[in-house]
Amino acid sequence: MPSRPPASARTSKTTPSLLAETHQQTDDKKNALTTNHGVPISDNQNTLKAGVRGPALLEDFVLREKITHFDHERIPERIVHARGSGAHGFFQVYESLADITKAAFLQDPKIKTEVFVRFSTVAGGAGSGDLPRDVRGFATKFYTSEGNYDLVGNNIPVFFIQDAMKFPDLVHSVKMEPDKGFPQAASAHDNFWDFASLSPESMHMLMWTMSDRAIPRSLRMIEGFGVHTFRMVNAQGVSHFVKFHWRPKLGMASVLWDEAVKINGADPDFHRRDLWDSILNGDFPEWELGLQVMDEKAAAALDFDILDPTKLIPEEIIPLRIVGRLVLNRNPDNFFAETEQVAFLPSNIVSGIEFSNDPLLQGRLFSYQDTQLSRLGGPNFHQIPVNAPRCPMHNFQRDGLRQMEVPKGRVNYEPNSFDTGTPRECPMHGFTSVPEELDGTKIRKRSETFADHYSQARLFFRSMTETEQQHIISAFAFELAKVETKAIRLRMLGHLAIIDPALHTGVADALGMSDAADTIQPAVQPRDLPPSPSLSILNKAPSTLQGRKIGVLITDGFDGALLATLRKSAAKEKATLMIVAPKVGGATDAEGTLVEADGSLSGSPSILFDTVVLLLSAEGAQDLATLSSGVDWVSNAFAHLKIIGHTPASQPLLDIAGVRPDDGLIPLENDKGIKTYIATAKNGRLWQREPTLRRPG
């Protein structure tokens, strides 16, 4: 494992040392933090473990009480991940993975394993919008021949905290402030940034949540990660550590912040609708599963601790092994019965896949199961169809709230001598854990190998393109400008100064606080790690229109032949083309043929499309130039850096909308113009336009 830090840098006290700056140490018992039963708590930062890198201990009554209370705070809505979208599908491995795992569903490329996948936002309630700046949950339930396996992750590979003891605190801080009941689905408020600024371990995750990863274009265009390090074990008992990655076939894409705000107003179900419609239309979302596999020696050679969930392994160090594909091909029949009632449990594993001692994962193994007891009415939630295994299930667990089966016979225990046909333990084929030698002091302490909180945050920022860095600066500036307490802003600026001087300067200038920042002493001085281009969305953006939407604005007298050519070109690229007209009834072309619209000018703003086309007649352009809805449709498309195809007759509308000529403005006078438009639009937004339109802040 990583070498021991020097004594001056060693700490499991990083957070307490910062807390000491804002809270006076006192021995006054009346101010002591206690359990619900009045027992004073000595350490509210760390789980009780067998050694600093050992597994969590069941006897940790402080953790169990805290997590149990948190799990049961909301009935019946999920506390986090409340707003979700789900779909059915299948997973198929490309080749046998027998070299690293004995898991049955990862052996035969001919087998399609049924799955149910749920995507979600994290911070908001079930009634919030789809496009807040937030983490997205990516949870997959595999109905394997050996039982259910749940891979419960996010679209970001790291997390805010290192120990499950802090999860209730994290979520409490980011949720609505308890006295106000707002803000909803937003981290831009004092409570969250107070917690984050007092938790240096959050710095890496903050870089991700302030990046474009937190405002995705579509759920079909997000990556997914298992976050934690897991183990895979083969039939010979050989164990490897593994990290899980989902890679979208369509590539990643995000929206701009201004766009996200407007989409939430125009269509708060934007992501839900997009996922549903794509499956309904047969454009099935697809991901590939990639694994980062390492043995104990390779894990020990890394410059961080693989049990630390605030760290990632750059693909340049351990490349992905692409092993299979996930296809979503069926929408739920009933949202409540399936998407709302599905219960994902990190503790649902199958033979050949095991846990690591990651202290955040160890707490989740208890928390998720416990949560379902409140949400789904008791211990029999596994009988709900969406949660039920597809393979046979036999045991002696009986009765309980919401029991939906009628077990027969007198025997409800094991061993028994009454009925040789009752279930028995199965040493030959049953689940067995890989032997792991444990020898550690029972202790509440963070491992010193978890103490570097800034190096990978710096790595992430410096791996971004200049455009993406500016977006991160803008996001920090927006969020911190919402923070009313100056001391919190100063504290955060102190952290940003450690991560990267350009990041700090950009945010401080945008806030008008360039002359002040707290001085923070990191537990471990950050290192300059080699950039990881694979972390950038723009560095690996595909040239494609597949899965994207083209919005075509038409008016009476438009060129029908151009529209026909555009339709063929869009279909060839597997893009969706939608017709927008001043009125939803449509418009007539120059030959007098009525073309029905998919949406109206006011009901289908340009923010809903990836790229737009103006097929306007001269009279139609003049008319739209007098309407704010027409001007906004075009000016927003330009401001959001979209490629705009247009007929020459559209020029008056372009002029009044403030559209200036650049490489993203494509004239459509003939088929050649359409060909140029398609080729340009495949490259996504025109990022060169952005510096002329906005600056951080």
Q: What is the mean pLDDT of residues 430-457?
A: 93
pLDDT at 620: 97
pLDDT at 9: 36
pLDDT at 588: 97
Query: Per-residue pLDDT tens for 84-104?
Result: 999 999 999 999 999 999 999
Q: What is the mean pLDDT of residues 12-28?
A: 50
pLDDT at 7: 36
Task: State CA 9 to chain mean position distance.
Answer: 32
Q: Give 133-200 as a 3 state SS string.
A: CCCEEEEEEEEECCEEEEEEEECCCCCCCCCHHHHHHHHHHHCCECCCCECCCCCCCHHHHHHHHCCH
Residue with tokens 């906004």: 632
Q: What is the mean pLDDT of residues 583-602?
A: 96
pLDDT at 1: 44
CA distances from 285 to 240, 251, 281, 328, 677 (A): 30, 11, 11, 6, 26
Active site residue 453: no
User: How many whole angstroms separate alpha carbon 208 and alpha carbon 214?
Assistant: 7
**Parallel, antiparallel or unpaired: strands 136-144 and 224-225:** unpaired
Active site residue 348: no
Look at residues 312, 314, 318, 319 and name the one whose alpha carbon lies nearest to residue 298. Answer: 318
Residue 653 CB neighbours (<10 A): 27
CA distances from 323 to 98, 106, 477 (A): 12, 9, 40
pLDDT at 47: 93
Q: What is the mean pLDDT of the chain?
A: 93
DSSP string, 548-609: -EEEEEE-TTB-HHHHHHHHHHHHHTT-EEEEEESSTT-EEBTTS-EE--SEETTTS-GGG-
Q: Measured on CA atoms in the order 467, 472, 476, 481, is the torsion positive or negative?
A: positive
User: How many whole angstroms separate alpha carbon 457 and alpha carbon 500?
Assistant: 9
DSSP string, 8-29: TT--S-HHHHHHHHHS-----G
Q: What is the mean pLDDT of residues 417-426?
A: 80
pLDDT at 401: 84
Crossing angle (nearest 10°) for helices 466-481 and 257-266: 60
Crossing angle (nearest 10°) for helices 190-197 and 486-499: 40
Helix or strand or coil: residue 117? Answer: strand
Please check the confidence at residue 16 and state whether its pLDDT lies above 70. no
pLDDT band, residue 10 (cuts 50/70/90): very low
pLDDT band, residue 469 (cuts 50/70/90): very high
pLDDT at 68: 82
Residue with tokens 């007929």: 647
Q: What is the mean pLDDT of residues 135-141?
A: 98
Residue 114 CB neighbours (<10 A): 15
Domains, the chain, in order of start with CATH, read 48-373 (2.40.180.10), 450-539 (1.20.1370.20), 543-692 (3.40.50.880)
Cβ atoms of 71 and 370 closer than 8 Å? yes
Please check the confidence at residue 416 and state whether its pLDDT lies above 50. yes
Please check the confidence at residue 4 and state whether its pLDDT lies above 50. no
Instruction: Enter the pTM of the model.
Output: 0.91
Q: What residue type is assigned to position 657 of the chain? A: A
Residue 128 CB neighbours (<10 A): 18
User: How many whole angstroms separate alpha carbon 40 and alpha carbon 61?
Assistant: 12
pLDDT at 28: 62
Which of 201-210, 389-398, 540-549 has the weakest average pLDDT?
389-398
Q: What percentage of the chain reaches a pLDDT higher than 70?
A: 95
User: How many whole angstroms separate alpha carbon 601 and alpha carbon 605?
Assistant: 6
> Which of the residues 81, 228, 245, 640 is marked catalytic?
81
Query: Per-residue pLDDT tens for 303-351?
Result: 999 999 999 999 999 999 999 999 999 999 999 999 999 999 999 999 9
Query: Per-residue pLDDT tens for 241-253?
Result: 999 999 999 999 9
pLDDT at 66: 87
Q: What is the DSSP letter of 221?
A: G
Q: Measured on CA atoms in the order 294, 295, 297, 299, is the torsion positive or negative?
A: positive
**Parallel, antiparallel or unpaired: strands 239-248 and 230-233:** antiparallel
> Which of the residues 46, 148, 154, 264 is marked catalytic?
154
Please check the confidence at residue 471 and state whether its pLDDT lies above 60. yes
pLDDT at 74: 65
CA distances from 362 to 167, 346, 352, 615 (A): 12, 9, 18, 58
pLDDT at 637: 98
Please check the confidence at residue 75 and state whether its pLDDT lies above 60. no
Please check the confidence at residue 240 and state whether its pLDDT lies above 70. yes
CA distances from 546 to 285, 453, 576 (A): 11, 39, 8
Cβ atoms of 176 and 285 closer than 8 Å? no
